[in-house]
């Protein structure tokens, strides 16, 4: 079942992961697993996806999907009717 987490929750989880990697010199996967278990069983894959998206949103990585802001704007634009389409069908 999919669950929505607040952006604040995700940011805090990512901070804890970074702290754990630095302090214990462990791999990201070990940190994802430990932090996920401590926060109610969030899967390591889910947290890795958060980490990847955070890098994209902060301009540290580029991928075809783009940043969260860019994807939201594209979705918004794709749902808005264009003036020429309106004129074409409402003459």
CATH of domain 7-65: 1.10.10.10
pLDDT, one tens digit per residue, over 37-75 is: 998 899 999 999 998 888 888 777 666 667 777 777 777
pLDDT class for 9, splitting at 50, 70, 90?
very high
Quote the percentage of the chain above a pLDDT of 90.
27
User: pTM of this prediction?
Assistant: 0.62
The pLDDT assigned to 85 comes to 56
pLDDT at residue 12 tops 90: yes
Would you kindly state where each structural domain of the chain is located, as residue ranges?
A: 7-65
The pLDDT assigned to 34 comes to 92
- Tell me how far CA of residue 70 lies from CA of 45, 78, 80, 86, in angstroms: 23, 12, 15, 25
CB atoms within 10 A of CB 51: 18
């Amino acid at each position: 079942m999919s669950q929505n987490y607040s952006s604040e929750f995700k940011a805090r989880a990512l901070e804890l992961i970074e702290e754990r990697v630095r302090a214990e010199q462990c791999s990201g996967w070990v940190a994802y697993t430990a932090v996920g278990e401590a926060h109610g069983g969030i899967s390591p894959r889910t947290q890795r996806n958060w980490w990847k998206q955070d890098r994209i949103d902060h301009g540290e990585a580029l991928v075809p999907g783009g940043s969260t802001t860019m994807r939201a704007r594209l979705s918004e634009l794709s749902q808005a009717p264009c003036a020429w389409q309106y004129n074409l069908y409402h003459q």
